[in-house]
Amino acid sequence: MLRACVLEFGGSWAEYLPLCEFAYNNSCQASIEMAPFEALYGRPCRSPLCWAEPEDREIVGPEIVVDHTEKVKLISQRLRGAHERQKRYADKYRSDLAYSEGAFVYLNVSPRKGLQRFGVKGKFAPRYIGPFMIKKRVGKVTYELELPPQMSGVHPVFHISMLRIAESKTGLRLIVDLSQIDLSDDISY
């Protein structure tokens, strides 16, 4: 919603920010099936559209505690349902990866916008370097690699998401010549 407003209003988006906030807080959220304002205060927000409608009686005393407790239970139940749906969707496309010690992997060094790595800028910069041999499995999803001396300033333990298996030992090729690796003062390459 905010992105659409920024694009629509251009440079004057800041003056419309309160209206965007109002719209967001009064829009029904799919995960809790009610507006955030209603979840917080237990009633719909009064906008100029509903000022003419008669008000329901206000809850005071012990009834307000019971009402809020019921709202919290309802919101928790709906959030659990939304979480389960999102987890089920994410797990459908997820696979557990595991590499064996001694296997060869490439290390992901995807370029960031505007950064120059290995003498090349942007889209043409290499996405992976290596291959490197896996020394050992450190945790459930982390592996220690055997890095060359040129990369002695880089910590050798990497998350599995930064690794890609090298298909075969005979087809191994260096994606980046290791002599091109120059470490910066902040130990980035």
pLDDT in tens, 117-167: 555 556 666 778 888 999 999 999 899 999 888 887 888 999 998 898 887
Q: How far is CA 4 from the centre of its chain?
A: 21
pTM for the model: 0.47
- When comparing pLDDT for 47 and 28, which is higher? 28
Greatest mean pLDDT among 67-81, 111-125, 171-185 lies in 67-81
Residue 77 pLDDT > 50: yes
The pair of three-digit structure tokens given for residue 29, joined into one six-digit string: 């959220």
- When comparing pLDDT for 78 and 61, which is higher? 78
Q: Are 32 and 78 in contact (CB under 8 A)?
A: yes
Report how far residue 40's alpha carbon sits from residue 106's, in angstroms, rounded to the nearest whole number.
Answer: 49
How confident is the model at residue 187, as a pLDDT?
47
Report how far residue 175's alpha carbon sits from residue 117's, in angstroms, rounded to the nearest whole number.
Answer: 13
The pair of three-digit structure tokens given for residue 116, joined into one six-digit string: 């120059």
Query: For 78-92, what is the mean pLDDT?
Result: 92
How confident is the model at residue 189, as a pLDDT?
46
How confident is the model at residue 78, as a pLDDT?
92
Task: Kindly report whether the peptide bond that precedes residue 111 is cis, defined as omega within 30 degrees of 0.
Answer: no
Residue 54 pLDDT > 60: no
Report how far residue 156's alpha carbon sits from residue 100's, in angstroms, rounded to the nearest whole number.
Answer: 16
Residue 41 pLDDT > 50: yes
Q: How far is CA 161 from the centre of its chain?
A: 13
Percent of the chain at pLDDT > 70 equals 68
Query: For 10-27, what is the mean pLDDT?
Result: 78
Residues 6+ apart with CB under 8 A from 134: 99, 100, 101, 102, 103, 104, 105, 143, 144, 145, 146
How would you classify the pairing of strands 163-165 and 142-146? unpaired
Helix 2-9 × helix 13-25 angle, to 10°: 150
Percent of the chain at pLDDT > 90 equals 18
Out of 6-10, 20-24, 114-118, 120-124, least confident range: 114-118
How confident is the model at residue 60, as a pLDDT?
61
How confident is the model at residue 133, as a pLDDT?
93
